Structure 1
Amino acid sequence: MISVLYVDDEGDLCELGKLFLEQSGEMSVDTCTSAKEALASPAFSSYDAIISDYLMPEMDGIEFLQAVRADHGSIPFILFTGRGREEVVIAAINHGVDFYLQKGGDPSSQFAELAHKVRGAVERRRAEEALGESEQRQNDIINFLPDATFAIDRSGTVIAWNRAIEEMTGVSAPDMLGKGDYEYALPFYGTRQKILIDLIFEPDEVIATRYSHIIHEKDRLIAETSHPRPKGQLVILSGTASPLYNRQGEVVGAIESIRDITRLRQAEEDAHHARKDWEIIFRAIGHPAIIMDPESRIIDANDAALRATKMSLDDLTGKRCYEAFQTGSAAQSPATCLLEKVKRSKEPVTVEEDMEILGGIFHVSCTPVFTKGGQLRKVILIAMDITEQRKA
């Protein structure tokens, strides 16, 4: 049901209009003979549309329209008047009238056209409100994304600039929204230039001139870039850019999320160096040392272990510890491997063992390594030759 307020100083015409407009059952019409009286009504803002005459005492239709636009926004307003002067039409358009309809002719046809104008104006406003609400929801979602995010329209004008990107760049949304000409690149690079959001449909060879680690996931583009901060420190940014589509599937803009991954890449580099350092130390240990998985399979061995077993790393890898270091029936028994004791105790185990295959008596320590969840991940075994000590 569309609620309508019909304002005309001719009371009889108001009642006639009410009768015609309510015939279809689509509209509920209230009438009033004074624009000032209408504005004073507590129910005024609840109407879906306003129909107004032009020439009325105290306040004419244009003045009424101005007051409505000033205090009630975009409520649909149809000027229905017997005055067809050009200056009235221009004034109505300039002040935001939705439709202008001249009185005269067959009342049935005239009010049918008026009803059509009311329906059109109300439907348009409801569609605009729905679109506005949808856009607001989208903006709210973008605004609360944890990653720095912005969006542009087809012309390159910034249409979204969220809180996270305000914090990252120091540029507020009011200062960036509505800006074009690659303004969004300035906080990152200090110059106006194309960035990832502008390169979505470019070939990889073009993207690679500015970005690395390029990944395409359907129409989503992921890449990394680095540049120096003002104080000279290098910052590494990861960007994810995608086109924006309307309901017809047409590209209407693009959106990009940016994450500062400098610390992540530094941590990865530190971890890489730590692994390399560990590998150097492991290889250089003067005693045979091996690393086993939870199933007793050897996954690595140091140089001393290769010399002691007279085997290559390829030959030793994949063997179970008892197969590599025991002889006879013991080489077939998992129970002879210290790993079984470690599994039961979940603590380091140390034994003294006469290892025939290595030709001596060894002090063997077996140290478990667990995941954060407490699962056994691997075991490090080190065998120290104490044969000479025992002979003494």
Structure 2
Amino acid sequence: MASDLRGSRSGQRDVSVLHVDDDRSVLDLTAAFLDSELDSVSVATTTNPEEALDRLSGERFDCVISDYDMPGLDGLELFEAIREEHPLVPFVLYTGKGSEEIASRAVNAGVTGYFQKGGPDQQRRLANRIEQAAAEYRTKIEADRYSTVLRALEYPIYVVDETGVFSYVNDPFLEMTGYDRGEIVGSGTDIIKGDEAVATAERKLGEILSSEGPDTAQFGVDIVPKDGDPIPCRDHMGVLPYEGEEFRGSVGILRDISDEKRRETELERRTRAMEKAPIGIVLVDPNREDDPITYVNDRFLGMTGYDREEAIGRNCRFLQGPETRADPVAELRGAIEEGESTTVELRNYRKDGEMFWNQVTISPIRDESGEIDRWIGFQKDVTEYKRRERELGRQNDRLERFAEIVSHDLRSPMSVAEGRIELPKGRIDDGSGELDAALDALGRMETIVEDTLTLARQGHTVGEREVVSLEAAAEASWRTSDTADATLETDADVEIYADGDRLRTLLQNLFMNAARHAGPAATVRLGAIDGGFYVADDGPGIPEEKREAIFEPGHTTAETGTGFGLTIVREIVEAHGWEITVTESEGGGARFDVVGIEKAA
């Protein structure tokens, strides 16, 4: 049988109605009346209930009108079939065969409305019920759609009615707060907010409702869960649609910003640390033209004399000047091209034109993808260090010249004096021993000169370090040491990194010190320990209160000592970056421990 669609109007979306009746004249009359009575309606008609079911499977209708007495399916049977597939679609039974039994069955089945066919008044009641039912149906559809969306969203969502009571919350909201839905819905917002937070929300809501206010508001709020500490959140609030003065409530989305707060706190802490750092710090953006400075700390400003506004946005080369050498600048550029860290020393210039030495270290800061997002530069004024370095160099030069003078101009006349005494000594019977005493004095002077030269030439640095056998170095040092009849025992089959010549000098002085104070028949022992070695003897030892003083220049208790031997030992130890301590040996003598030594693999 034929069916058609009637009554479409432009403008608002039509109320879409499907009318089923086996009487074509009733269909036409009802369609015409609905078209004239309702503002916007479209009516599809069919005389076949089975066709109506097919139409519902492929089209959307806001309401179904059906006769009761029809061939194939009666009206209530059609209603049951429709409800199985489309339970929310309104269904109005509009029949000419009215009876209390049919009406009772229809109401009990759950139809939306029941009307008997009649004149204009009855048709008008039908039209009003259709319009009302269609509006309710659309509201249910929208509510179901939005409810589905809200349930699917990961963010906590709430709806508060016009009285300030929760009317809806989604599952993420319940997970955040720790409450059951029954505990939240029907409760005031103060169940999860403090007084200040409630007041803030009310103030923001008032701004939205004002005629000149925004459509939505975003603000920070602490959500107080059922258990645990408050959760910092950002509340995105809006109002529910309403007409006239009838405010219906508000809706909001909460976003947990705990991680954001922690990041902000950490950033503030790092920024404060950078601001108070004792070295200059700059950040450079390599993704902008000419790699401009985006941040400088207070120390940088103090070093250079520039204001923050004068430095931000400029390339770091503005600190360069006439005396800036090209090599370190090229090294910086090469490191930037390779994306690597480096350190150079540059002649830079302050705002007033004064030159200063700047030790610059640059390092890349990479983002999560590994791309360089920023360059950080650490700048340290080393002008005073460079001045001291130059002065130390001049002092070392003068010391070296002095050593040459002592070595040549003092030792030469001493050798002449020694020879002059030796010549007559063989011809003169000097029973008083004065010539021998003079020779001893000259010998002591020679020893003092040797020790002084050794001490002067040790300095505070060492030459290139190499792998040295500790045991071999000890044996070589023992052979060239004046140790009388003392005995050396070694248990140091290890290899270390050291300046070999300086290490042998160190061992010589420790061996001679042991032999000198422990006696001619002393036993000296060299052994390896964790991180170094020790030299011990079986002599009388060194009292604890005198152990620090023995390293001072000129300190000696031996008649033939110069007091420089252990001073030389300490200089060599410190030049290597090692440490030396004095304790008592197992035999009651002195023990020197040298630690902090890197062993060779």
Would the TM-score normalized by the shorter structure come out above 0.5? yes
Q: Which residue of 1 aligns with 2:341?
A: 348
The residue aligned with 2:256 is: 260
Task: Using the TM superposition, give the Cα deviation of residue 50 of structure 1 relative to its aligned residue in structure 2, in angstroms.
Answer: 1.2
Matched, 1:171 2:164: no
CA distance in 1, matches of 2:24, 2:359: 107
Q: 1:124 to 1:263 in 2, by over 3 A?
A: same
Structure 2 residue 173 is matched with structure 1 residue 136:
no
Cα offset for 1:165? 1.1
Q: What is the CA–CA distance in structure 2 between the aligned matches of 1:150 and 1:203, rounded to whole Å? A: 19
Q: 1:147 and 2:155 equivalent? A: yes
Deviations 1:169-211 (A, max 9, x none): 233445544x2xx53432445x9x956554444479xxxxxxx
Question: Which of 105, 117, 122 is 1:64 aligned to?
Answer: 105
Deviation at 1:272, TM superposition (A): 0.9
Instruction: List aligned pairs for 1:1-392, cutoff 5 A.
Output: 18=23, 20-24=25-29, 26=31, 27-28=45-46, 38=74, 41=77, 44-46=80-82, 48-52=91-95, 53-55=97-99, 60-69=101-110, 74-78=111-115, 80=116, 110-174=118-182, 176-177=184-185, 179=186, 182-189=187-194, 194=198, 197-202=201-206, 218-226=214-222, 233-246=229-242, 251-280=247-276, 282=277, 284-285=278-279, 289-291=280-282, 293=284, 294=286, 295=290, 299-300=295-296, 303=299, 306=302, 311=305, 313=307, 317=311, 320-327=315-322, 336=329, 339-351=332-344, 358=355, 364-372=360-368, 374-383=371-380, 384=382, 385-386=385-386, 388-389=388-389, 391=393, 392=396
Q: Partners of 1:314 and 1:200 in 2: how far apart?
A: 38
State the alpha-carbon separation in 1 of the partners of residues 166 and 361 from structure 2. 64
What letter corresponds to residue 75 of structure 1 in structure 2?
Answer: T
CA contact (8 A) 1:316 1:324 kept: no
SS across alignment from 2:142: helix
Q: 1:197 to 1:133 in 2, by over 3 A?
A: farther
- Consecutive unaligned residues of structure 2, counting only runs of 5 or more, are 6-16, 32-44, 49-66, 83-89, 397-601
Structure whose residues are more often strand by fraction: 1
Q: CA deviation at 1:164?
A: 1.5
Distance 2:160 2:309 in 1: 59
Q: Which runs of 5+ in 1 are unaligned?
A: 7-14, 81-100, 102-109, 205-215
Pick the structure with greater CA Rg: 2
Matched residue type, 1:245: P
Task: Encode CA deviations 1:283-321: one digit per residue, 9 max, x unaligned.
Answer: x24xxx4526354666536648845x6x35559735654
Tell me: CA distance 1:201–1:161, structure 2 relative to 1, closer, same or farther (3 Å).
Answer: closer
What TM-score, normalized to structure 1?
0.62
What is aligned with 1:96?
Answer: none
Equivalent-residue separation in structure 1 for 2:243 and 2:114 (angstroms): 29
1:21/1:115 contact within 8 Å kept: no
The alignment yields a C-alpha RMSD, in angstroms, of 4.4
CA distance in 1, matches of 2:129, 2:215: 38
Tell me if the contact between 2:281 and 2:299 (Cα under 8 Å) persists in the aligned partners. Answer: no
**Which region of structure 1 is more displaced relative to structure 2, 158-167 or 336-345?**
336-345
2:521 alignment partner in structure 1? none
Q: Deviations over 1:201-240 (max 9, x none)?
A: 4479xxxxxxxxxxx9713233223477677744433323
Give the aligned residue type for 1:124.
Answer: Q
Ranked by relative contact order (alpha carbons within 8 Å, sequence separation 6 or more), the top structure is 1
After TM superposition, the score normalised by the length of structure 2 is 0.43
More displaced stretch, 253-262 vs 40-49: 40-49
| Residue equivalent to 2:572 | none
Offset of residue 136 of structure 1: 1.5
Partner-residue secondary structure (3-state), 2:144? helix
CA distance in 2 between counterparts of 1:315 and 1:337 reads 27
CA shift in 2, pair 1:196/1:247, >3 Å: same
Amino acid of the structure 1 residue aligned with 2:29: S
- In 1, the alpha carbon distance for the partners of 2:28 and 2:298 equals 95
Percent of aligned positions that are identical: 12
Question: Any conservation in 1 of the 2:217–2:237 contact (CA below 8 Å)?
Answer: yes
In structure 2, the residue matched to 1:107 is none
| CA-CA distance at 1:151 after TM superposition | 1.1
In 2, are the aligned partners of 1:334 and 1:340 still within 8 Å (CA)? no
